[in-house]
Amino acid sequence: MRKLNNPFLKNGKAMILAYDHGFEHGISDFNDFSLLPENILELAANNGYTGLVLRKGLGELLFPVSKKVPLIIKLNGKSPFLRENDSLVSADCSVKYAQELGAKGVGYTIYLGSQFEKEMIKEFGKIQEEARERNLITILWLYPVSKEILSWENFTANACRLGLELGADMVKIKYPGSKEELKKARKYCPSLKILLSGGEKLAEEEFLNNLKESLKAGLDGVAVGRNIFQQEDPESMSKKIQEIIFG
């Protein structure tokens, strides 16, 4: 199988805007700016973003978004009503439909350490094969099912290696707390595109420092949402991130 051209990269780096947080976290994550999808599309198109993550409902609303910025449709996720983290999170959108919406890539989360890890790995395996047939990029969110697991020795490197061996084109990981852990992930996955997850809103300086450390450790960019939308000036924050990644 030939290697696909990756439309989400610029000079080998990615700066992806994630806008699936309404599904994942509920309306508490919104402010006057971010509750309007049109604002997000404009932000993504005019501030150097190489990709935009949407759920299928917003993909329908903003169709065809890919003419302004390459689209990633997120195929699964957990709602804010799910009390038990250790639950099966299955796809609610097909690869075929994502492509019909104009997507150039599809995203999927595996919650590592979950009792349903095996089922999610199996489902992603089928998604990856169909995405290959349709010339779509696969982006794998590799999240620990609990914060405790994130702190385990070699968790991040092992997670990235799992993504590599599952055939993901890119993986999205949480910041593990140290540059050394990220260097280890880079060492054991030299060909894999590894992106830092934005996660919960941090102070601007803390987030930007985490991003700088991640890039120094060899990561290939960021997929970020709340640390853009919830900042006082999303456009200014976008430009700072753009300068760090591409400048």
Kindly list the catalytic residues. Answer: 143, 172
- Where residue 77 falls (left for φ over 0; alpha for ψ -120 to 50; beta otherwise) is left
Query: What value, to the nearest 5°, has the Cα angle with vertex 197 and ends 196 and 199?
Result: 145
Q: How far apart are CA 154 and CA 57, in angstroms?
A: 37
Query: E strand or H helix at 67, and its extent?
Result: none
Query: E strand or H helix at 235, and its extent?
Result: helix 234-246
Nearest to 15 by CA among 38, 46, 39: 46
* CB neighbour class for 132 (10 Å; exposed up to 12, middle 13-18, buried from 19): middle
Cis peptide before 70 (omega within 30 of 0): no
**Residue whose entry in the numeric block shows the structure tokens 């030299």:** 190
204-216 and 234-246 are packed helices; what angle lies between their axes, rounded to 10 degrees? Answer: 20
Residue type, 6: N
Helices (H), 116-223: 117-133, 147-150, 155-166, 179-188, 204-216
